[in-house]
Structure 1
Amino acid sequence: MVYKLTKDATVEQLRAAGLDDHYANHDRALFYQNASGVPWTAAYIQAKGDPIADLYEDIAAEEKARATYQWLIDLTDDVDLQDGLKFLREREVVHSLRFREAVEILKAEQGAKKIF
């Protein structure tokens, strides 16, 4: 979405949108960072090694993404962009629900000794 929204922008338009630093470093290429410009790092991936704890981390990540998509929807009046963001937001809701279901299955089976 970001690429589609900026691919035809002029340098002047990018500058006016506050994207001149990004353009100077990356042209119009995608560079994964948060809204404050902090680059994405694999250190953001949380894993404890306990399936239940890890699923709760996944649930939290899905809910944070859902909230972010909602805030992005609130920031734009572009209906097509809103539609894409709404799809992504709803996908996060479904992921969160499936992870919650998995937690309940693991809790129910936690004490069972199974041999495979």
Structure 2
Amino acid sequence: MYNYEKRLQYPVNIKIKSPKIAQIVLSQYGGPDGESAAAMRYMSQKFAMKNPKVAGLINDIAVEELGHLEMVGSIVSQLVKDLPCDDIDLAGFEKYYVDHTLGVWPQSAGGVPFSATTFQSCGDPIADLIEDMAAEGAIV
């Protein structure tokens, strides 16, 4: 079970409005190497871990990734809050806006929707941990 604190671990206070930057940051939210994939990767893989302490650690990492997802979503939300239509058009944000207005939706900067095909959970703890290290950028 989870306990949610109604605050960000690190406050996000964006002072500018920029749909261009928001489009780029969206990849960290829902792109192939983003926080959505990371959270789902760990949450799915924990069930294959035979050692309860390892399963608990993987679960803790999944929850941490959900916290990152919330922070990145807050950044995107603040970057586009109350944008005038002219800014949306000038930044090339209109295609995103048509489908999602100023909501935060998981996709890459190129507009590709989040997909579970960006991570693996094969049921082999060693293979899953190696995939985790590769996804996190570790040298294997």
TM-score between the two structures when normalised by the length of structure 2:
0.43
Q: 1:28 aligns with which of 73, 98, 102?
A: 102
Q: 2:113 aligns with which of 39, 49, 53?
A: 39
User: What is the distance in 2 between the residues matched to 1:37 and 1:17?
Assistant: 14
User: What is the distance in 1 between the residues matched to 2:134 and 2:82?
Assistant: 36
Using the TM superposition, give the Cα deviation of residue 43 of structure 1 relative to its aligned residue in structure 2, in angstroms.
Answer: 2.3
Match of 1:60 in 2: 134
User: What is the distance in 1 between the residues matched to 2:90 and 2:131?
Assistant: 38
Q: How many residues align?
A: 66
The share of aligned pairs that are identical, in percent, is: 42
Matched, 1:17 2:61: no
Q: By percentage of residues, which structure has more helix?
A: 1
Runs of 4+ in 1 over 6 A off after TM superposition: none
- Amino acid of the residue matched to residue 110 of structure 2? S
User: What is the distance in 2 between the residues matched to 1:61 and 1:34?
Assistant: 16
Alignment RMSD:
1.9
Q: For structure 1, which runs of at least 5 residues remain unmatched after alignment?
A: 64-95, 101-116
Secondary structure of the residue aligned to 2:78 is helix
| Structure label with greater radius of gyration | 1
TM-score between the two structures when normalised by the length of structure 1:
0.51
Q: Could you say which structure has the greater relative contact order, defined with CA pairs below 8 angstroms and 6 or more residues apart?
A: 2
